Amino acid sequence: MVRLHPQKLICMQTVGLLLLFVLFAVPGPLPAADAPRLEVEITGIEDPLKSTIRNALSLVREQGHPLLTQYRIQALHQGTPDEIRNTLEPFGYYQAEIEPLLEQRNGTWYARYHVNPGPPVTIGSLDLEIRGPGGSNEVFQNWRQTFPLQPGDRLRHAGYERAKDDLLAIARRYGYFDARLSESRVRVELPQNRADITLHMDTGPRYRFGTVHFSETPLRESLLQRFLHFESGEPFHSGALLELQRALSDSDYFERVDVIPLIEEAEEQRVPIEVRLEIQKRTRYAFGIGYGTDTGPRTTIGIDRRWQNSRGHKAGTRIVASEIRTELNFNYRVPLTPPTTDYLDFTADYTEETTDTSSRETALIGGALTQMRRGWQETLSLNYQEETFDVGIGDERANMLVPGIGWQRVVVDDRLVPQHGWRLAAGLKGASESVLSSTDLAQATFRGSYITTILGGRLITRLEAGASETSNFDRLPVSLRFFAGGDSSVRGYGYQTLGPENSAGDVIGGKHLLIGSVEYDYFWSENWGAAVFIDQGNAFNSTGDFDLSQGAGLGVRYKLPFGLIRVDVASAVSESGNPWRLHINIGPEL
């Protein structure tokens, strides 16, 4: 064994400690005092290719690196022309000419590359073939017709790769899980600058839906089965699974819904479907406060039973109280098929309302059948109501048995603050004095709204109309008469203060209604906007006494997560002195 002299050992330990001090006490790498500066310039080509090339260059990525040396710069410069050529090829440029220049001036290195991309390679021929049982399927024919590269087009590798991915995605979406690309090739011929594309796919058999298994919930299996829009044995289509998931989520029964095709467990090309469900809490309590200039401050208290029993019946109670109206409502809903859109409602409602022109107490019981028909929501209803009302001539009492039918449809790009869209609602109702009614009645209503963009803002138009025929108007309840004026009617006037008057000058409502509105709003920031509007219309009994009332004004808009706050100042143009009135409304527009 070799033994070190004590003095040598002490010297070695001292050197080691100094090295450790340098390694750990000095923060970070020592700066390179003579690190060269580097400028890179690309000419002869424009964006976006110019930026693409620049981002691909190693020289650009290492600009400003503390360990960059002149030798590293020179080495990277030698490989830059190949990097440029490799970057241009996916865009169809296979014969690019690059003039490189590297020079140093005043301590700075200048790397310049003049790029002449040359003539692009264009598509010569397309050989797209879908073989197998799915070869005649329309979805693949559509893919062929919309292939992004056509003869004469510049070759773009990204378009070709995207088309391949789309083809395989379509195959999986429509149940061709064994599909494979049997041939996939882009043949580039130089110097002819021609590319021939060959893309063949064997679809294999189309799989079908197997059995659907729902996880255990308090709801009956028979109810869950009614959510299905497909049957076992039908050709597989992933869109049907998305529709199932959306319908189950919209039902409000479930907190979480996962629909999973078990492709690996398929037997005889039948894919079992697993639906994992997490049930919502059975009871939901609601409390809300709001404000509108028509109603004043209002409070809402509600209790909902999301599922009353295993058959999925729902029940709900609402109490709404404001300055002018108190309402107690009970609703019981029975889901039909499909449960999300088709249902039977049973309702009991009691309302007290006092406005500037009338007062009423209304008790109502009824039922309604709601179904979707070709995108339209259709509702058949039968209601019986008893109402005590006063329109300035003392209390009157009436009862009405009112059958009705209504249709409604909403098409919008955004339900809360739409930029484009429309809403239409129409209804017919009637009553006969010979069947539990105080007077005969035939009534039609229509309400439509349309929103579009113009000059960077939104143009909002609205039309509301109604017409009635009755044997004794004095016996017609206030709730079935037409009034105008208010936040959602003719602004500038009080709630339900427009309409025919009696001999004492009291507004008693009318048989008919016609209201139109045009509004333009513009948002100068993400949340804030301003509006200008004109409303006009009235309630009336005949065309001879139709007195058109007009309101106009300005407003401020503010976006909230649940809709818009609309604050309007409107002038009653048709009134003497053009009095102004404030209107505040909160919520969705359609």
Q: Across the beta sheet with 208-214, what order do the strands follow?
A: 208-214, 270-279, 254-261
Average pLDDT, rounded, for the chain: 92
- Residue pLDDT, tens place only, 96-151: 999 999 999 988 999 999 999 999 999 999 999 999 999 999 999 999 999 999 99
- Going by pLDDT thresholds of 50, 70 and 90, the confidence category of residue 394 is confident
3 within some domain: no
Q: Spell out a b/e string for 262-286, using b for 16 or more CB atoms within 10 Å of the CB, else e.
A: eeeebeeeebbbebebebeeeeeee
Residue 15 has pLDDT above 50, yes or no: no
Task: State which of 73, 90, 116 marks the end of a domain.
Answer: 116
509 & 364 share domain: yes
558 & 520 share domain: yes
Residue 445 has pLDDT above 50, yes or no: yes
231 & 377 share domain: no
Question: 443 CB contacts (<8 Å, ≥6 apart)?
Answer: 428, 429, 430, 466, 467, 468, 469, 480
406 & 537 share domain: yes
267 & 174 share domain: no
Cα distance between residue 365 and residue 399, in whole Å: 12
Distances (CA, A) of 524 to 172, 562, 564: 45, 20, 15
513 & 477 share domain: yes
67 & 191 share domain: no
- Residue pLDDT, tens place only, 95-105: 999 999 999 99
pTM score > 0.75 for this model? yes
Cα distance between residue 573 and residue 538, in whole Å: 13
Residue 1 has pLDDT above 50, yes or no: no
177 & 219 share domain: no
pLDDT of residue 35: 65
Q: Which residue has the higher pLDDT, 562 or 82?
A: 82
pLDDT of residue 503: 85
Residue 38: both structure tokens together: 């580097």
396: nearest Cα among 296, 455, 478: 478
- Residue pLDDT, tens place only, 357-383: 999 999 999 999 999 999 999 999 999
536 & 414 share domain: yes
Domain that holds residue 242: 208-279
Average pLDDT over residues 224-250: 96
Is the CB of residue 442 less than 8 Å from the CB of residue 424?
A: no
168 & 48 share domain: no
Residue 27 has pLDDT above 60, yes or no: no
CATH number of residue 128's parent domain: 3.10.20.310
315 & 368 share domain: yes
Q: How many other C-beta atoms lie within 10 A of the C-beta of residue 573?
A: 17
Is the CB of residue 493 less than 8 Å from the CB of residue 293?
A: no
Is the CB of residue 42 less than 8 Å from the CB of residue 50?
A: yes
Cα distance between residue 549 and residue 497, in whole Å: 11
Residue 544 has pLDDT above 90, yes or no: no
Residue 68 has pLDDT above 70, yes or no: yes
CATH number of residue 452's parent domain: 2.40.160.50
- Going by pLDDT thresholds of 50, 70 and 90, the confidence category of residue 24 is very low
Give how many domains the chain has, as a whole number: 4
Tell me what percent of the residues of the chain surpass a pLDDT of 90. Answer: 84
Task: State which of 279, 310, 327 marks the end of a domain.
Answer: 279
Average pLDDT over residues 186-201: 93
Residue 215: both structure tokens together: 């996880």
167 & 193 share domain: yes
Task: State which of 202, 229, 262 marks the end of a domain.
Answer: 202
7 within some domain: no
Whether cis (ω within 30° of 0) applies to the bond prior to 81 is: no
